[in-house]
Amino acid sequence: MLPGTAEKPSFPLNILADFAGGGLTCALGILLALQSRNATGKGRVVETDMVSGVRYLSSFPLLHYQVPNSPFFGDSEKENGRGTNILDGGAPFYNVYTCADGRWMSVGCLEPQFYRAFIEKFIGALPQAFLGEQGDWRPTEAMRTDESKWPRLRAFLEFGFRTRTRDEWAKIFHGTDACAVPVLSPTEAAQAAGSTIPTPHPMLAGSSQRPSNSVGSGSLNPGEHTKEILKEMDLPGDELAALVRSGALGNIRTKL
């Protein structure tokens, strides 16, 4: 049910299973277990796995899969195949477009008021020569729900976005309700955020302490904090030395 072609779905980043379906749901389970322990005084075993986690996260598309000819998602097994629906890459107003400089703009104006704002700004920024080539044809609000008009609308947007650079389009849509924003590179996103390291999220309002991003490169070396963690566990020195000699802690002899 992921976006893609009729032949196969696109391959997702490992954010979907490893981090969202796996790590995040596991962390949520631990928090729920702690809450339960605080209320009952009894510990709980958290049962979680990536496959079940991703399936639960996918409740919205999976429920729509049970709806005949759902307008949101398609599948190769059904009449409305993948890549022909609103949220699976079929809608021209919910996609990514290449600009004149080879960079991209993302468009996600699903609701009528956002679609209207997008079309008005988009048409208003197109060169007259380009509009002249289209004759009297222009996108209308009715085309948002008329799938028969989507191929022509998609072509109009594809060629139209190529008339300006990404940054030019970004400036045109900035501060509007058009739901059209530039696709940033990791370097550009870091500059916009003021840090190469993502800020911890969510933050608790009213908290007096904020996490620091001053952690060097942002990555940890294997075994970097083994000594500190084992000390927090009050592991006796002789047992720690035995673990080092056995190689159970890896190649960290010099650190201990």
Residue 18 annotated in active site: yes
**Structural tokens at position 254:** 């010099």
CB 37 within 8 A of CB 43: yes
Name the active-site residue from 18, 49, 88, 101. 18
Alpha helices in the chain (DSSP H): 25-40, 50-57, 59-65, 112-125, 128-133, 150-161, 166-173, 186-193, 226-232, 237-246
Q: Which residues contact 219 (CB under 8 A, 6 or more apart)?
A: none
Distances 122 to 47, 147, 162, 221 between C-alpha atoms, Å: 50, 20, 12, 48
Among residues 17, 9, 148, which one has the least CA distance to residue 75? 9
Catalytic residues: 18
